Amino acid sequence: MSEAPTLSTPPNVPCQSTNTCPGNENGIPEDKVRNFVSQLLDSLIDELMRVDGCPSITLKRRSNHSHFSLNPETGALQRDTTEPSCTYSWPGKTAQEAWRFAVLLRILGHISEAIRGDFISSKRDIYYLDPVYFGSQSVVDRCIDDIACTIGVDRTALHVAAAAKGVVVGTFNVTLNDDFMIDVAVHAEVSLLLLPDSFPFVILTCIQGMLVPRVETVKKIDTSTIRWILVIEKEATFHRLATVNYHTTSAAGSGILITGKGYPDISTRAFLHLLSRVPPSASGALPFRQPPIFMLVDGDPDGMAIMSTYKYGSRAQAHDNTNLAVHNVQWLGLQASELVPSSLEIQGDDALIPLTSRDRKKAQDMLGRSPVFAEDGPEPAWRWELQHMLMTNVKAEIEMLYEREGGIETWLDHKLQTLV
């Protein structure tokens, strides 16, 4: 049995091996954070020492109205225009400005403390430091993302991690930095569901698979037996396939199922990015083939947008898309243009659903503003599919595959066997 491949980290890819995880004093992203905080504090102290001083904090503000393009070298979505900046001073021109200054100072202080103490906080943890003063979780979220954008790092360098949302299952092993190995094929997440009207009774739920781990905690991944990776938009579809052990029973061989439960969080995107870069075994005893990565999304504008987020990145994280985008993603389905009731052996025309006004607006926005769906963009088939949706005014959902003969499993077998 060959040794599982050890992950190697290229320059400027934060926290993907034990050499660059939080707490390493030589970690370049953390040094950028330390320098930013140190220079900011020096500036604030200098201003406070002056009689007419006006201490201030200037941050870049991320905007969805910026112009975006695809980086010619990395292929990732990038912001072409300079991010607008906003300066908050003390005591400020308004009470709102003074409050915003204090919020930023409180958050920066916690980030500095987390780096010195070598611990990780979630956005939720920071919010609960003073929920009354912060006002809402969204205030904390926006401040943290603006700080990361201003410094030019991801949240990992700030020692801030969002609570895991994505789930993964498959016949592979993950070794953490403490050398604890997780056999993902037999792992299950257990949680307690408290019933508000029936205390002290609880429901114990067990979900096959595991929450997507933070990439900075991962030392090694062994995917030597994996033939394919399937990213699924919907949590319900993921659980259906995981329950029947599709990752082990597929006619295309063993695979990995992963879902971000709709639009993916950064942790899910980062982990998929990591899976796409697992190197071959160091011993070379076994031939290694990078497993192809497929996307299964609804045949609607949101499904197309979710697929684009995985492959090219998001507007909100334009400053870090290079470390998150997975360029070898392939579109498995669902394509509304191919799925007519007769071909799926479904009675009636209930399988195809009319587009809502929101769907049409989103599709038009994607065609008009996203370089991914542009006429000269890299995905002409994606663009054509959106145009077809607008012309026919229909969309398709993954659930329609449940009703065909053999169910979604047979449909997947046919698709994967053709491509793997």
Residue after which a domain boundary falls, among 116, 139, 158: 158
Question: What distance in Å separates the CA atoms of residue 303 and residue 264, rounded to the nearest whole number?
Answer: 11
Q: Is the pLDDT of residue 359 over 90?
A: yes
The residue whose two tokens read 């002290």 is 200
Name the pLDDT band for 165 (thresholds 50, 70, 90).
confident
pLDDT: which is higher, 347 or 361: 361
**Average pLDDT for residues 29-50, to the nearest whole number?**
86
d(CA 92, CA 293): 51
Is the pLDDT at 317 greater than 70? The verdict is: yes
Whether residues 334 and 253 share a domain: the answer is yes
For residue 332, count CB atoms less than 10 angstroms from its CB and return exposed for 0-12, middle for 13-18, buried for 19 or more.
Answer: buried
Residue at 345 is within a domain: yes
Domain assignment present for residue 180? The answer is no
Give residue 385's pLDDT. 93
Query: Highest mean pLDDT range out of 71-75, 351-355, 411-415?
Result: 411-415
Least confident window among 169-178, 186-195, 402-411: 186-195
Find out whether 109 and 90 touch, Cβ atoms under 8 Å. Answer: no
Out of 110, 132, 158, a domain closes at 158
- Whether 181 is covered by a domain: the verdict is no
Lowest mean pLDDT among 22-36, 108-122, 345-359: 22-36
Nearest to 5, CA basis, from 406, 376, 291 = 291
DSSP state letters, 56-101: EEEEE---TTS-EEE-TTT--EEE-SPPPEEEEESS-SSHHHHHHH
**Count of domains observed in the chain:** 2
Asked whether 104 and 146 are in contact (CB, 8 A), the reply is no
**In Å, what is the CA distance from 347 to each residue of 80, 332, 334?**
49, 24, 19
Based on the fold, state whether residues 242 and 372 are members of the same structural domain.
yes
133 located within any domain = yes
Please spell the DSSP secondary structure of 202-234, one letter per residue.
Answer: EEEEEEESEEPPPGGGEEEEE-TT--EEEEES-
CA dihedral 209, 210, 215, 217 (to 10 degrees): -130
In the three-class reduction of DSSP (H, G, I as helix; E, B as strand; rest coil), residue 310 is classed as helix
Q: Are residues 129 and 271 in the same domain?
A: no
Distance CA 207, CA 322 (A): 32
The pLDDT of 159-167, averaged and rounded, is: 82
162 vs 272: which has the higher pLDDT: 272
Q: Among all chains, which residue has been given the structure tokens 């030019």?
A: 152
Q: Rounded mean pLDDT of 52-67?
A: 77
Q: What is the pLDDT of residues 207-260, one digit of tens each?
A: 567 888 888 888 888 888 899 999 999 999 999 999 899 999 999 999 999 999
137 and 226 belong to one structural domain: no
Domain with 290, as residue range(s), is: 220-419
Q: What is the mean predicted confidence (pLDDT) over 107-113?
A: 89
Same domain, 147 and 241: no
Give φ, ψ of 211 to 5 degrees. -60, 140
Positions of E strands within 238-381: 255-259, 293-296, 329-333, 352-354
Note the pLDDT of residue 330: 95
Determine the average pLDDT of the residues in 343-368: 77
Is it the case that residue 162 has pLDDT exceeding 80?
A: no
The answer to the question of residue 129 being in a domain is yes
Bridge partners of residue 89, in order along the sequence: 56
Report the pLDDT averaged over residues 354-372. Answer: 93
* More confident call, 77 vs 4: 77
Domain of residue 370, CATH code: 3.40.1360.10
Question: According to the model, what pLDDT value does residue 288 have?
Answer: 61
Total-model pTM? 0.76
Is the domain of 153 the same as that of 228? no
For the chain, the average pLDDT equals 80
Provide the percentage of residues in the chain whose pLDDT is more than 70: 81
Identify the band that residue 66 occupies on the pLDDT scale cut at 50, 70 and 90.
Answer: low
Provide the CATH number for the domain around residue 93.
Answer: 1.10.10
Q: How far apart are CA 230 and CA 276, in angstroms?
A: 12
**Bridge partners, residue 59, by sequence:** 86
Cα dihedral 256, 261, 264, 265 sign: negative
Residues 270 and 368 reside in one and the same domain:
yes
Q: At 394, list the tokens.
A: 């229909």
What does the pLDDT read at residue 280? 59
User: Of 158, 177, 197, which closes a domain?
Assistant: 158
**Eight-state DSSP code of residue 357:** H
| Number of neighbouring beta carbons within 10 Å of residue 22 | 22
Indicate whether 267 belongs to any domain: yes
How far is Cα 107 from Cα 129, in angstroms, rounded to an integer? 9
pLDDT of residue 197: 54
Greater model confidence, 81 or 3: 81
pLDDT of residue 60: 82
Same domain, 154 and 76: yes
152 is a domain residue: yes
pLDDT at 215: 85
If asked whether residues 80 and 152 sit together in one domain, one would say: yes
Nearby residues of 2 by Cβ (< 8 Å), 6 or more positions away: 224, 281, 282, 283, 284, 285, 286
* 350 shares a domain with 269: yes
% of the chain at pLDDT higher than 90: 29
Biggest CA–CA distance in the chain, Å, is 80
pLDDT of residue 351: 62
Same-domain pairing of 153 and 224:
no
Per-residue pLDDT tens digits for 203-221: 444 456 788 888 888 888 8
Return contacts of 141-145, CB within 8 angstroms, 24+ apart.
143/103, 143/104, 143/107, 144/107, 145/62, 145/316
- The verdict on 237 and 105 lying in the same domain is no
What distance lies between CA 168 and its chain's CA centroid?
13
- How far apart are alpha carbons 124 and 228 in whole angstroms? 35
Is the residue at 295 inside a domain? Answer: yes
